[in-house]
């Protein structure tokens, strides 16, 4: 089994939810951590938790919605530290708004955070991995990256884009022994729906019932890390909602009937 002990791991979206659990569990494995988020205060708390288990944990807060800030931060990290052994693109934002009500500026913001930031960071660390002939890249998608769902048009679009980009990347870098894993979480107990944005770009502020009763972020992170270590191309993480992915694949007619009966709220 692969170990990340004393290897440099960079995680975005690490101040809460899945990202926080990834950081803590990898710290317990002895990984050397770089953690990032737009919330510097919460990130600092996570760093303190991680330092109880690992000798190295550095914080780099930055805003995924600003491509120049993403690029500059990535260049700083790559120039400052040794080769990044594992990059987990995990930061992101969700959406709760109808297509007809959502201005294109919101569509662009979500794509910038949930997709283009992943592309920028991955391209920044890739040369070092290629030179070393080893490395791991992971991207947090969603089951919404496998099918569209009401109120999540831009979010689903960004998650679909993640699949296209990272599947292509996986095929291209196979000769360099670099592993690429895409995670497709379903309903996980995080604050993603609370922090989702509406058509005005304001926080949705409500906890989805499905989210509240979803899989714990701790268990999600455990399965995610295990999949990365096993070099799995992809992993679905969740409860019964994961069945929707398979229903769409094998029974598309049934899937579309189910989705169109869902009432946006």
pLDDT tens, 126-155? 999 999 999 999 999 999 999 998 999 999
209 — pLDDT class (breaks 50, 70, 90): confident
Q: Which of 219, 196, 90, 102 is nearest to 142 (CA)?
A: 90
Q: Is 74 left (phi over 0), alpha (psi -120 to 50) or beta?
A: alpha
Q: Give the whole-angstrom CA distance, residue 47 versus residue 32.
A: 11
Per-residue pLDDT at 163: 98
Whether 143 and 246 have beta carbons less than 8 Å apart is answered as no
How remote is the C-alpha of 204 from its chain's centroid?
20
User: Average pLDDT over the chain, rounded to whole?
Assistant: 95
Domains and CATH numbers, the chain: 8-240 (3.40.50.720)
Rounded to an integer, the average pLDDT of 20-45 is: 98
Q: Give the whole-angstrom CA distance, residue 150 versus residue 199.
A: 14
pLDDT tens per residue, range 44-70: 999 999 999 999 999 999 999 999 999
Task: Retrieve residue 146's tokens.
Answer: 């496998």
Residue with more model confidence, 76 or 207? 76
From 155, 204, 224, 236, the catalytic residue: 155
212 — pLDDT class (breaks 50, 70, 90): confident
Rounded to an integer, the average pLDDT of 24-42 is: 98
Whether 136 and 178 have beta carbons less than 8 Å apart is answered as yes
Per-residue pLDDT at 264: 56
263 — pLDDT class (breaks 50, 70, 90): low
- Determine whether 155 is an active site residue: yes
């Amino acid at each position: 089994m692969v170990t990340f002990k004393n290897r440099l791991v960079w995680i975005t979206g690490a101040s809460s939810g899945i990202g926080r659990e990834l950081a803590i569990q990898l710290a317990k494995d002895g990984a050397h951590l770089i953690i990032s988020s737009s919330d510097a205060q919460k990130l600092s708390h996570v760093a303190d938790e991680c330092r109880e288990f690992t000798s190295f944990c550095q914080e780099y807060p930055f805003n995924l919605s600003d491509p120049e800030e993403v690029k500059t931060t990535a260049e700083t990290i790559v120039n400052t530290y040794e080769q990044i052994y594992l990059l987990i693109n995990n930061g992101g934002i969700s959406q709760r708004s109808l297509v007809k009500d959502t201005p294109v500026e919101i569509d662009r913001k979500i794509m910038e955070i949930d997709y283009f930031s992943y592309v920028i960071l991955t391209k920044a660390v890739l040369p070092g991995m290629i030179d070393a002939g080893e490395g791991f890249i992971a991207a947090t998608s969603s089951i919404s990256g496998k099918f569209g769902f009401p109120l999540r048009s831009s979010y689903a679009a960004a998650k679909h884009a993640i699949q296209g980009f990272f599947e292509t990347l996986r095929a291209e870098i196979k000769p360099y022994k670099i592993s690429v894993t895409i995670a497709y979480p379903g309903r996980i107990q995080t604050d993603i729906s609370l922090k989702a944005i509406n058509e005005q770009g304001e926080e949705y502020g409500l906890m989805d019932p499905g989210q509240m009763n979803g899989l714990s972020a701790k268990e999600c992170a455990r399965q995610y890390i295990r999949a990365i270590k096993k070099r799995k191309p992809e992993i679905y993480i969740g409860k019964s909602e994961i069945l929707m992915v398979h229903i769409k694949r094998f029974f598309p007619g049934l899937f579309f009937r189910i989705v169109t009966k869902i009432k946006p709220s």
